[in-house]
């Protein structure tokens, strides 16, 4: 098993929130924890980071349009397409995926 980078973990957390939202009702952090395979304290830290980056809202836990766009762009990046800029360090995305900047 390989170690996940921060963007992979963000993707897993956002995917978990998105999946649980699609199932209807409120999103429970423990369900997201199961989807993302994180210890609860680490999940809480990543949720705070995602909220700071305006990719989720908490109380109730839900994904924002920016978070949905990240999921879509991450999927595209996995298929060799361009990704948009997110956290003010687009060069890191470039280095991670070896892609041209948008």
What's the CA gap between 95 and 100, in Å, rounded?
A: 9
Per-residue CA distances from 2 to 5, 8, 10, 28, 79 (Å)? 9, 11, 16, 27, 20
Task: Band the pLDDT of 101: cuts 50, 70, 90.
Answer: very low
- Crossing angle between the packed helical segments 29-36 and 6-22, to the nearest 10 degrees: 130
Task: Show the domains of the chain with their CATH numbers.
Answer: 6-97 (1.10.10.10)
Give the per-residue pLDDT at 83: 45
What's the CA gap between 64 and 82, in Å, rounded?
A: 21
Q: Give pTM, 2 decimals.
A: 0.75
pLDDT per residue over 1-49, tens digit each? 578 889 999 999 999 999 888 666 678 999 999 999 999 999 999 999 9
What's the CA gap between 37 and 12, in Å, rounded?
A: 8
């Amino acid at each position: 098993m390989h170690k996940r980078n921060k963007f992979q973990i963000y993707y897993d957390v956002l995917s978990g929130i998105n999946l649980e939202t699609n199932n209807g009702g409120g999103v429970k952090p423990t369900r997201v924890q199961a989807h993302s395979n994180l210890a609860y304290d680490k999940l809480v830290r990543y949720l705070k980071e995602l909220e700071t980056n305006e990719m989720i809202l908490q109380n109730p836990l839900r994904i924002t349009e920016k978070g949905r766009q990240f999921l879509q762009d991450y999927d595209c990046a996995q298929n060799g397409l361009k990704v948009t800029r997110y956290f003010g360090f687009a060069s890191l995305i470039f280095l991670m995926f070896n892609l041209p900047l948008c």
